[in-house]
């Protein structure tokens, strides 16, 4: 396959404009076409402004901008694509329209020209099916905004020559982006790996475990993610994310892990879409997210008697280390005395199950989530059962906030909030690896660059939290709820059984 020097971009909307920008900046000769001439003019105007700002900020020299502008040629006729080496299509997300365009392109471009689609939800193999040479059709999936989201998925359809994808990898790098390779499966890597965060967040809300703001705060300040599920859905807007949730669920034939929620269906139908409509899971006033008022933690009373249940070795050790530093009377008796707060530290179980299994006094029992560490400043989560007395819950909050750390109280839930969300995220990534959709390394790279997950991606998050603990959380959640969405991926199970990193491949 010959080297690529010129790139045709079809569709001058949000994505086409961004791809044109980075291609022209990288020195490619770019031809930009759209059925609407106004879209091309608008894209050129926008790029003019973006480049002017780059010069102002010292990020590009006037000469570089001049060169990029010269590299970018607006086209009013598709026939002007006749001598490009690569076409990147970024038109409306509709299979028949894309297939028609690809068919038409084949009659215009040279035999060696690569045809790539920026589709986020359609099958590359299905688009290529309309072509005489499906082996030159691949996916080149950028993210919005293209110039800032430095990752691109290179997707191999069932008939794509792998040399075509090799070329796209080189081009992506020249454009300053990190390429990751994916098989032609629904959602590719990033949109697939991103499902569990939203879906499990919605399930938690649907079960009345915690309100939206509490779930988000826990994901940020306990689990260390940049955003929680509801902030994220408000940003992407439900007219995008709800149909994606339904589409991925159906494309995987009602896989329970991807089961969408009626919460977003109702909001989507009602136009309560997120930031852009001023109202989503949060209200926005002048673009500012409105948060529910939070009360200061109650005052801790020194001398509180606490009995820590020795039921989970890891959880017990972590909670014991914290409690030893706080101003309490920590009781080490075999059974819980009648006048002590009972603290349990489950992994994947709810308080009701622990209370029932070990015959504890429900009124005095709270659970503490120990899975993400308990150091001062990291939000702590206290979970209560439906029988926990308010006074004992208050004592627990006062205790765990007594070193100045924020505490959230949640209702009974198998796996608290963060255990559920993080275990689901890691399990989802493991299943992408198990299906061979991408390598473990590319999954981590794609998700860390595409979604900003911590620790370098979801499989590394799994190693950080501990594969064995996550497996235990998933098994317990499945046992307590009976829901198959929590069944552990074989990828996770085998790596835990063999005692190796979740990134280990043969």
Q: Which residues are catalytic?
A: 120, 141, 153, 191
Give the interface segment with ligand NAI, choosing from 53-61, 139-147, 263-271, 301-309 (CB under 6 A): 139-147
Smallest gap from residue 389 Cβ to ligand NAI (A): 49
Q: What x-and-dash track marks residues 107-126 binding ligand NAI by CB under 6 A?
A: -----------xxx------
Alpha carbon 381 to chain centroid, angstroms:
22
Piece of 87-95, 344-352, 378-386, 435-443 that binds ligand NAI (CB under 6 A): 87-95
Question: Among residues 4, 7, 9, 15, which is the contact residue for ligand NAI, using CB under 6 A?
Answer: 15
- The C-alpha R_g of the chain, in whole angstroms, comes to 26
- Min separation Cβ 89 and ligand NAI, Å: 8
Extract long-range pairs of 370-373: CB within 8 Å, 24+ residues apart: 370/314, 370/315, 370/318, 370/319, 370/345, 371/315, 371/347, 371/416, 371/418, 371/419, 371/422, 371/465, 371/469, 371/473, 372/222, 372/223, 372/224, 372/418, 372/422, 372/465, 373/318
Q: Are 429 and 443 in contact (CB under 8 A)?
A: yes
For ligand NAI, which residue of 91, 116, 152, 414 counts as binding (CB under 6 A)? 91
Strands of the 151-156 sheet, one edge to the other: 72-75, 29-33, 6-10, 86-89, 114-117, 137-141, 151-156, 178-183
- The residue assigned the tokens 């299509």 is 89
Residue linked to tokens 């991606």: 457
Q: How far apart are CA 355 and CA 301, in angstroms?
A: 25
11 binds ligand NAI (CB under 6 A): yes
At its nearest, how many Å lie between ligand NAI and the CB of residue 140?
Answer: 10
Q: Which is nearer to ligand NAI, 16 or 428 (CB)?
A: 16
CB of 435 to ligand NAI, least distance (A): 22
Determine if the peptide bond prior to 141 is cis (ω within 30°): no
- By CB under 6 A, is residue 13 in contact with ligand NAI? yes
Of the two residues 151 and 433, which places its CB atom closer to ligand NAI in the complex? 151
Which residues does 391 contact at the CB level (< 8 Å), separation at least 6? none
Longest Cα–Cα distance of the chain, Å, equals: 84
Nearest approach, Cβ of residue 495 and ligand NAI (Å): 32
How far, in Å, are 4, 73, 84, 85, 108 from residue 112 at the CA level?
10, 22, 10, 7, 12
Binds ligand NAI (CB under 6 A): choice among 8, 16, 201, 450? 16
Binding of residue 88 to ligand NAI (CB under 6 A): no
Contact status: 90 vs ligand NAI (CB under 6 A): yes
As given in the structure block, the two tokens for residue 91 are: 């038109």
Residues in 142-161 at the binding interface with ligand NAI, rule: CB under 6 A: 142-144
The smaller minimum CB distance to ligand NAI, of residues 235 and 330, is found at: 235
* DSSP string across 421-477: HHHHHHHHHHHHHHTTSS-HHHHHHHHHHHH--GGGSHHHHHHHH-HHHHHHHHHHH
Span interacting with ligand NAI, options 8-16, 266-274, 424-432, 464-472, rule CB under 6 A:
8-16
CB of residue 321 vs ligand NAI: minimum separation in angstroms? 45
Q: Which of 4, 7, 9, 12 binds ligand NAI (CB under 6 A)?
A: 12
Residue 14 sits in the site that holds ligand NAI (CB under 6 A): yes
Show contacts with ligand NAI in window 22-51 (CB under 6 A). Answer: 34-36, 39
10 Å Cβ neighbour count for 318? 19
What residue is closest to ligand NAI based on CB? 13
Name 9's bridge partners.
Answer: 32, 88
- With left for phi above 0 and alpha for psi between -120 and 50, is residue 417 left, alpha or beta? alpha
Q: How far is the CB of 16 from ligand NAI (least distance, A)?
A: 6
Q: How far is the CB of 107 from ligand NAI (least distance, A)?
A: 15
Smallest separation (angstroms) from ligand NAI to the CB of 41: 11
From residue 108, alpha-carbon distances to 87, 112, 148, 418 in Å are: 11, 12, 32, 53
In DSSP notation, 157-184 reads: -TT--HHHHHHHHHHHHHTT-EEEEEES
The nearer residue to ligand NAI, 35 or 169, going by C-beta atoms, is: 35
How many Å apart are CA 29 and CA 365, to the nearest integer?
68
97 binds ligand NAI (CB under 6 A): yes
Which residues, 273 to 292, sit near ligand NAI by CB under 6 A?
none
* Residue 102 or 282 with smaller CB distance to ligand NAI: 102
* Count of residues engaged in binding ligand NAI, rule: CB under 6 A: 23
User: Which lies closer to ligand NAI via its Cβ, residue 18 or residue 229?
Assistant: 18
Nearer to ligand NAI, 78 or 410 (CB): 78
Nearer to ligand NAI, 236 or 353 (CB): 236
Q: Pick the closer one to ligand NAI by CB: 11 or 187.
A: 11
Distance of CA 37 to the CA centre of its chain: 36
Q: Which residues of the shown chain bind ligand NAI in the complex (CB under 6 A)?
A: 10-16, 34-36, 39, 90-93, 97, 101, 118-120, 142-144
């Amino acid at each position: 396959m010959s080297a690529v020097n010129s790139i045709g971009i079809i569709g001058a909307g949000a994505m086409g404009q961004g791809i044109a920008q980075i291609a022209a900046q990288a020195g490619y000769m770019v031809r930009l076409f759209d059925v609407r001439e106004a879209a091309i003019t608008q894209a050129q105007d926008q790029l003019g402004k973006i480049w002017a700002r780059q010069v102002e900020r010292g990020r590009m020299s006037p000469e570089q901008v001049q060169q990029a502008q010269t590299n970018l040629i607006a086209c009013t006729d598709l026939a002007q694509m006749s001598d490009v080496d690569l076409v990147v299509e970024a038109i409306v997300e509709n299979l028949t329209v894309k297939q028609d365009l690809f068919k038409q392109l084949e009659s215009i471009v040279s035999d060696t020209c690569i045809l790539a689609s920026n589709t986020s939800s359609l099958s590359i193999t299905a688009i290529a099916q309309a072509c005489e040479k499906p082996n030159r059709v691949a996916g080149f999936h950028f993210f919005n905004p293209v110039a800032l989201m430095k990752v691109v998925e290179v997707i191999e359809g069932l008939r794509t020559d792998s040399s075509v994808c090799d070329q796209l990898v080189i081009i992506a790098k020249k454009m300053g982006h990190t390429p990751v390779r994916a098989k032609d499966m629904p959602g590719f890597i990033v949109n697939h790996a991103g499902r569990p965060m939203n879906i499990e967040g919605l399930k938690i809300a649907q079960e009345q475990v915690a309100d939206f703001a509490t779930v988000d705060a826990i994901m940020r300040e306990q689990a260390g993610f940049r955003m929680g599920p509801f902030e994220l859905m408000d940003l992407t807007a439900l007219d995008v994310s709800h149909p994606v949730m339904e589409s991925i669920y159906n494309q995987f034939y009602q896989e329970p892990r991807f089961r969408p929620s009626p919460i977003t269906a109702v909001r989507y139908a009602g136009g309560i879409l997120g930031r852009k409509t001023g109202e989503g899971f949060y209200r926005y006033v002048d673009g500012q997210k409105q948060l529910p008022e939070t009360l200061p933690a109650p005052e801790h009373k020194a001398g509180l008697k606490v009995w820590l249940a020795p039921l989970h070795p890891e959880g017990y050790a972590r909670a014991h280390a914290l409690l030893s530093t706080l101003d309490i009377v920590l009781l080490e008796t075999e059974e819980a005395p009648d006048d002590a707060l009972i603290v349990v530290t489950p992994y994947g179980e709810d308080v009701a199950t622990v209370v029932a299994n070990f015959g504890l006094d429900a009124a005095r029992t709270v659970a503490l989530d120990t899975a993400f560490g308990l150091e001062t400043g990291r939000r702590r989560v206290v979970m209560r059962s439906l029988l926990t007395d308010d006074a004992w819950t208050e004592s627990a909050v006062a205790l765990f906030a007594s070193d100045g750390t924020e505490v959230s109280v949640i209702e009974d839930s198998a796996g608290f909030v963060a255990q559920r969300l993080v275990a689901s995220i890691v399990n989802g990534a493991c299943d992408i690896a198990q299906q061979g959709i991408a390598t473990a390394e590319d999954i981590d790279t794609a998700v860390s660059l595409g979604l900003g997950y911590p620790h370098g991606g979801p499989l590394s998050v799994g190693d950080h939290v501990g594969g064995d603990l996550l497996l235990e959380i998933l098994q317990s959640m499945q046992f307590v709820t009976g829901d198959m969405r929590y069944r552990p991926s074989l990828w996770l199970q085998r790596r835990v059984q063999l005692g190796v990193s979740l990134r280990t491949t043969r």
